[in-house]
Amino acid sequence: MNQQGQPGSAIEETLRVVGDRWSILLVRAGLRGIRRFDDFCDDLGIARPVLTDRLRRLVKFGIFERVKYQDKPVRYEYRLTEAGLALSPALVALVRWSEEYSQDVSSETTLVHAPCGTELEQAFWCRSCQTTFGPNAVKGVGVNRES
C-alpha cells in the first residue's frame, strides 16, 4: 500500500482501524460515558450492523473492551480501555479544529480548562527543554521535507 519502503506505516495501520466516520465518534461517545449498544445506536444514529462491526473491530484493537455487567440476563457493555482513553488528545485536537475552521456550524467554544474556564490551547511539550512549541518545530510528521 505504501510504495517506497518509507516509515509511516504506523498511522496507516491506525487509520485503518480508527479512520472512518464512526470510530472516532464512538470513542467520543465512550468518553461521554456511553457504554451500551442501544445507547451508542441512539446517540450517534449509526446503523446497527455497522455499529456491531465497528465495536467488534475496536475491541479487537484494544480500544474498547466488552464487559459483562449483569448476569441474570447476560448483558455486555463496551468500555474504553486505557488505549482508548489515550485517543483523547487526538479527539481534542479535532474538536478544536472543528470549532475554529469548520464552516457552517455555530462555533461555540466548548473546550476549556476545567479549573478556570479559559479556552484551551494545544501545544507540544519537550521535557528536556522544558518548553512548549508549535507544529513547525516538530520533526517527523513531515515538516522536514526532503523533496
Binding to DNA (CB under 7 A) within 56-75 occurs at: 66, 72-75
User: Is the Cβ–Cβ distance between 76 and 67 less than 8 Å?
Assistant: yes
Q: Give the torsion sign (CA, 26, 50, 42, 102).
A: positive
- CA dist., res. 61 & res. 18, Å (int): 10
Q: Is 44 in the site for DNA (CB under 7 A)?
A: no
Q: Is 50 in the site for its own copies (CB under 8 A)?
A: no
Binding segment for its own copies (CB under 8 A), chosen from 51-59, 66-74, 115-123, is 115-123
Q: Is 13 in the site for its own copies (CB under 8 A)?
A: yes
Nearest alpha carbon to residue 75 among 84, 66, 83: 66
Cell of 27: 470513542
Helix H or strand E encompassing 51: helix 48-60
Kindly identify the residues of this chain, within the stretch 111-140, that bind DNA according to CB under 7 A. Answer: none
Binding segment for DNA (CB under 7 A), chosen from 19-27, 86-94, 98-106, 115-123, is 19-27
Give the binding site for DNA (CB under 7 A).
Answer: 20-22, 36-39, 45-50, 52-53, 55, 66, 72-77
